[in-house]
Amino acid sequence: TDRYDPQSVEVKWQRIWEEQGTFHSETDAALPKYYVLEMFPYPSGRIHIGHARVYSIGDAVARLKRMQGFNVLHPMGWDAFGLPAENAAIKHGVHPAKWTMENIDTMRTQLQRMGYSLDWRREVTTCLPEYYRWEQLFFLKFLEQGLAYRHKAAQNWCESCNTVLANEQVENGLCWRCDTKVEQKELTQWFLRITKYAEELLQDLNGLEGGWPERVVSMQRNWIGKSIGAEIEFALEEPAEDATQSIRVFTTRQDTVCGATFMSLAAEHPLVEELIAGSSREAEVRAFCDKVRNMDKMVRGAEDLEKEGVFTGRYCLNPFTGRKMPIWVANFVLMGYGTGAVMAVPAHDQRDFEFARKYDLEVLPVIIPEGRTMDGATMTEARPEPGLLVDSGPFTGMDNEAAKVAVADHLEAHGLGRRAINYRLRDWNISRQRYWGAPIPVMYCESCGVVPEKEENLPVILPLDLQVRPDGRSPLPDAQDFVQTTCHLCGGPARRETDTMDTFVESSWYFLRYTAPWEDGKPFRAEDLAYWCPVDQYIGGVGHAILHLLYARFWVKALRDLGYVAMDEPFKALLAQGMVLKDGAKMSKSKGNVVSPDEMTQRYGADAVRLFLLFAAPAERDLDWSDSGIEGAQRFTHRLWRLVTDLAPDLTAVAPCSASAQDAQAAKVPEAVTLRRKEHATVVKVAGDIADRFQFNTAISAVMELVNTMYQVKDVLRTTDAGKKMLSSAVASTLVVLSPVTPHLCEEMWQLVGHADLLSHQSWPAHDPQALIQDEVTIVVQVDGKVRSKMTVAADASGEQVQREALASENIQKHISGREVAKMVFVPGKLLNIVTRK
């Protein structure tokens, strides 16, 4: 037979699938649906091996689900706005639009060459006005609802990228893209009020447990960062009549309030200026505040920060003890959290303790372990643990958890404060001072102020006739044709907003648009959305565990409240696939260890690449690319090809799992039963391993074993008609269950054995549970050489299993009659002799 030629075979089937629209799907309420989605790629140039892995995983799931009777939505698109396009434009002098669209063409061809079962009619490209016009519409709706707002604040600024970054885009104080140190810059920016959904985003994580990886759920929980506690007012000592009267703090430990011995303010706290104005300490405090303000955010928030501060010269009063508390400015107190003021309890908070020791401030323990005493003067570290209250007036003697409740009640009853909840989550800054993004659809009018564009004027089109600047500054503010416009309220001149939206906006809702990307009168069609959503299985890198997934969850909730969608959560289940490594290291151009999927496909075929990527490791683990591995995968495709081409003349085009138990009997050789059992067991195992656990590796192993079994039994079986039927059925099953992994090879062989219809249209075989039952044998059981009983056990039962069963029977126990068992003799398939000690 001919050697298998993946190149021609694969391209042939890709063309047929494309011509026949094999993977097109339509809304059909009569069918159960399954929406499988991989995170869409950024069109950076060419697909890399990581792409090939994630799309191979998703495709195997899509193909399995289709065969299992689901109407499967499996779309693809391009996350096409963003910085790399601008950087490439600067470097190579090519327009970002041209660069992006050309990359998309290249990468589409590459993905198609991999044979993924995608519905390409649904392709979505986010840099096109037909896409981004809808997010401009959402922005206007958000604005109406107060979910979008403008705000001036110190922002994360990357000098090298020339843009503001969201908190999520700052990693260890560095820009997530270019690793430049992030600075703080005062700017007026557009924000989305994600904090309005903080509690819901947190609560709904409970429902995602099980479907989402635990670590992703816990990363999201920590990012939202809910703290339950209280706000307490501390009156200033001798405040001026028309000035601020008190300082409000946020604490999670209101039980420790009687141990608060001083007050710490953030350098940015608005009260600082008021407290020091005209005092002798003015210059010193101001200099300290300036220094702290310019500190790196990350350094300032770090636990091991050297605690520093300065005394303001003023005091406030502890509302519970009346104690005079000096007010300090401290470098570790942040303005962006709580109220920017902390009641310092050095006996129970480590930062406060270090600060108190450094500046010789009082340490007063108020929570002590039962039956012990504590001395603030000799403590060497803070004691944050629970305990009983001392020196705490009416709360003395209480357990500290009970005291948290009692103090909160007291605060509320006496108007000293209130229960409060704080979230670490901040609103989402979506303004980017960049060119290659979706314009924010507002204008600024001298007389009317901020004027949202009219809905009917959307889209506000990003002009494509501009050139990026060598320094990366956006050309938009100088593009007069774009900027100059007319206020639609007063008819006067107005300037358009020249910031563009963060690219995470596009990826926050693309999965919704896939349900009806051809719709041009509205963003979605309700019936399509209701049918397909939510996504049943989402697949992507854990790198997006916070950013993209949190934004998308927020976006869906916000759209729900606007009446656009009817769901609460976009992604029912999430698989975070591992990385592809080479020799244990991340692939990178600088290391010269990059494996190109293109080259591999040229050399081994797409099926072999897919097989290797799915076989080499469980989906959520990292995978080491190895040449021997891909060669092994290729060898297996050839081995299967040889088997089927050798058998082909003897095979008939039967359905998978169609040889019956009677057929197996008729073949009159034990190999027939063995093969049938293996065939059915493989069908069960593959579906379970893929659908329930993404264990492609063990699923593929099972198919390999089935192929081995076929090699072992084929010469015996092919001599009879009944035997040929057994082989035909097993080959059909093999092709079906392996087709999610190596679809072209399987489709080709399916045709080769005489099927007229496409393998891609086959149903997943229904297995016969009876077929899984092992053969049984009868074992004679003796006690001290005398036959006492007979037992029926599985043919491959071990001696130990048979012994355990024999000893459990009453009859045998009777004959042993309490004597100790000295030894046992086991003859597999025949006899067990239990010898007792006399």
Binding residues for ATP are 589
β-pairing, 33-38 vs 163-165, is: unpaired
Q: Candidates 343-351, 392-400, 635-643, 748-756: pick the segment binding ligand ANZ (CB under 6 A).
A: 343-351
> In the complex, what is the shortest distance from the CB of residue 625 to Zn ion, in angstroms, rounded to a whole number?
60
* Sites for ligand ANZ among residues 715-744 (CB under 6 A): none
Does 72 bind Zn ion (CB under 5 A)? Our answer is no
β-pairing, 574-577 vs 537-541, is: parallel
Does 489 bind Zn ion (CB under 5 A)? Our answer is yes
* Sites for Zn ion among residues 633-672 (CB under 5 A): none
Judge contact between 23 and 17, C-beta under 8 A: yes
Nearest to ligand ANZ of 20, 222 (CB atom) = 222
Q: Candidates 331-339, 451-459, 501-509, 603-611: pick the segment binding ligand ANZ (CB under 6 A).
A: 331-339
Q: Which does 487 bind (CB under 5 to 8 A by kind): ligand ANZ, Zn ion, none?
A: Zn ion
Nearest to Zn ion of 452, 540 (CB atom) = 452
Does 348 bind ligand ANZ (CB under 6 A)? Our answer is yes
Q: Could you tell me which of 324, 318, 323, 333 has the C-alpha nearest to residue 407?
A: 318
> In the complex, what is the shortest distance from the CB of residue 164 to ligand ANZ, in angstroms, rounded to a whole number?
22
Nearest to ligand ANZ of 266, 657 (CB atom) = 266
* Residue type at position 795: A
SS3 691: helix
Q: Which does 79 bind (CB under 5 to 8 A by kind): Zn ion, ligand ANZ, none?
A: none
Per the DSSP assignment, residues forming a β-bridge with 444 are 450, 495
Q: Could you tell me which of 670, 701, 520 has the C-alpha nearest to residue 131?
A: 520
Exposed, middle or buried by CB within 10 Å (0-12, 13-18, 19+), for 383?
middle
Q: Could you tell me which of 60, 139, 95, 395 has the C-alpha nearest to residue 257?
A: 395
Does 349 bind ligand ANZ (CB under 6 A)? Our answer is yes
Nearest to Zn ion of 487, 529 (CB atom) = 487
Residue among 287, 490, 787, 794 that touches Zn ion (CB under 5 A): 490
Does 450 bind Zn ion (CB under 5 A)? Our answer is no
Query: Which residues are part of a known binding site?
Result: 589
Does 379 bind ligand ANZ (CB under 6 A)? Our answer is no
Does 422 bind ligand ANZ (CB under 6 A)? Our answer is yes
Q: Could you tell me which of 257, 277, 275, 255 has the C-alpha nearest to residue 265?
A: 275
Exposed, middle or buried by CB within 10 Å (0-12, 13-18, 19+), for 725?
buried
Nearest to ligand ANZ of 54, 347 (CB atom) = 347
Does 227 bind ligand ANZ (CB under 6 A)? Our answer is yes
Nearest to Zn ion of 445, 545 (CB atom) = 445
Token pair for 126 = 């986010």
Nearest to Zn ion of 31, 451 (CB atom) = 451
Helix axes 743-752, 6-20, angle to 10 degrees: 90
Residue among 34, 138, 212, 250 that touches ligand ANZ (CB under 6 A): 250
Q: How many CB atoms lie within 10 A of CB 213?
A: 17
Does 368 bind ligand ANZ (CB under 6 A)? Our answer is no
Contacts of 400 (CB under 8 A, 6+ apart): 255, 256, 367, 386, 387, 388, 389
> In the complex, what is the shortest distance from the CB of residue 491 to Zn ion, in angstroms, rounded to a whole number?
7
β-pairing, 442-445 vs 367-368, is: unpaired
C-alpha 664/C-alpha 683 separation (Å) is 18
DSSP string of 720-768? Answer: SHHHHHHHHHHHHHHHHHHTTTSHHHHHHHHHHTT--S-GGGPPPPPP-
> In the complex, what is the shortest distance from the CB of residue 489 to Zn ion, in angstroms, rounded to a whole number?
5
Nearest to ligand ANZ of 47, 266 (CB atom) = 266
Nearest to ligand ANZ of 422, 733 (CB atom) = 422
Q: Candidates 113-121, 345-353, 600-608, 744-752: pick the segment binding ligand ANZ (CB under 6 A).
A: 345-353
Q: Candidates 24-32, 336-344, 602-610, 810-818: pick the segment binding ligand ANZ (CB under 6 A).
A: 336-344
Judge contact between 240 and 264, C-beta under 8 A: no
Residues that bind ligand ANZ (CB under 6 A): 227, 250-253, 256, 266, 332-334, 337-338, 340, 342-343, 345, 348-349, 384, 422
Q: Interface residues with Zn ion (CB under 5 A)?
A: 445, 447-448, 487, 489-490, 492
